[in-house]
Amino acid sequence: MTFSPPPGAPRARIPAPSQPPPSYPRIRAGLWKRCLWGGLGLWVLTALVTYATGNTTLLPTLILLGSFLVPVTFVLWAYERHGQDLGVSAILGCFLTGGTLGVLGASVMEYHLSRPSLGMFAGVGLIEEAVKLAALMFVLRRQVRLRGTRAGLVLGAAVGFGFAALESAGYAFDAAVSTRGIDLRALLETELLRGVLAPFGHGLWTAIAGGALLSYRRPNGRFHLAGPVVGTFVGVALLHALWDSAQGIAIWLVARLAGTGLDKRLFAEGYVPGPTERQEHLFTSFSVGGLVLVSLFGIAWVRSLARRDASWRNTP
């Protein structure tokens, strides 16, 4: 038997079914370690075969393996530890699309910045950090749910590491091609150096800027360039400029402290002509020390952002 409500009585509203948050397949723990050691083994094997056979058709494989190994490893680590609820498509989109758009935008805007100087390094820092942040906004423009500091740190790092991988591939190609033919040694040295430095550069800076950007993203998905977001952007651009100008600053400090009358314009050249042994030691200490200080400051900045974000501590 069924009962009908009396005429005019309000009908009870049936609650709409709640939409569960999207779920994504979880990757196996330790995948980033297997990627690192497996990729490193493949890179070494490719380098040995290239050297033994002189087969230049292996150069693209060698360049891609060496340039993408460390960036991909760190993105996998960030996704495995802190971003599996963000989705694979978001990570891949930020790494591939965001990184590519960042490189293209930086190339167009830096076309007229040719001579090394303090102004050039500051301009490069502002331009590259701006295009990477714009690329992050473009990739996430329709993914309204992605906001908060943790999402910004992980996805910003993905854009930065995508940028770093493509940039490293370009530098490796330039190092390999010389007037005397293919310089395999220069290629390998470039990839080793940039691979070691990769975790402390673009990925770190864009993670900081992305964390600030998405922490102020509104619930409707609109990006809000609040004062702290702009201040963070300027800060990471300054870190970028200091990183790029470390050698020039070291030259200037050598000129000041060694008392040899070195021209300060050598800052733009990046080397000391006929240096003494003491000048070489001073230059190495200042240039390496500058990179270490910039790296430590960036790491401390990321850690402070992560500690202030509750969702970082409660990562699924």
For residue range 101-112, list pLDDT tens digits in order.
Answer: 888 888 877 666
pLDDT tens for residues 73-94?
A: 999 999 988 888 888 889 999 9
Q: What is the DSSP string of 205-226?
A: HHHHHHHHHHHT--TTS-----
Could you tell me what percent of the chain has a pLDDT over 90? Answer: 42
pLDDT at site 139? 92
- The answer to whether 103 touches 206, Cβ cutoff 8 Å, is no
pLDDT at site 15? 43
277's CB contacts (< 8 A; 6+ apart) are none
Higher local confidence (pLDDT), 2 or 130: 130
- The answer to whether 253 touches 285, Cβ cutoff 8 Å, is no
pLDDT at 299 over 60: yes
CA distance 204 to 97: 18
Higher local confidence (pLDDT), 26 or 177: 177
The mean-pLDDT minimum among 8-22, 142-156, 169-183, 216-230 falls in 8-22
pTM of the model as a whole = 0.83
Q: Is 182 left (phi over 0), alpha (psi -120 to 50) or beta?
A: beta
Q: Tell me what the pLDDT averaged over the chain comes to.
A: 82
pLDDT at site 271? 57
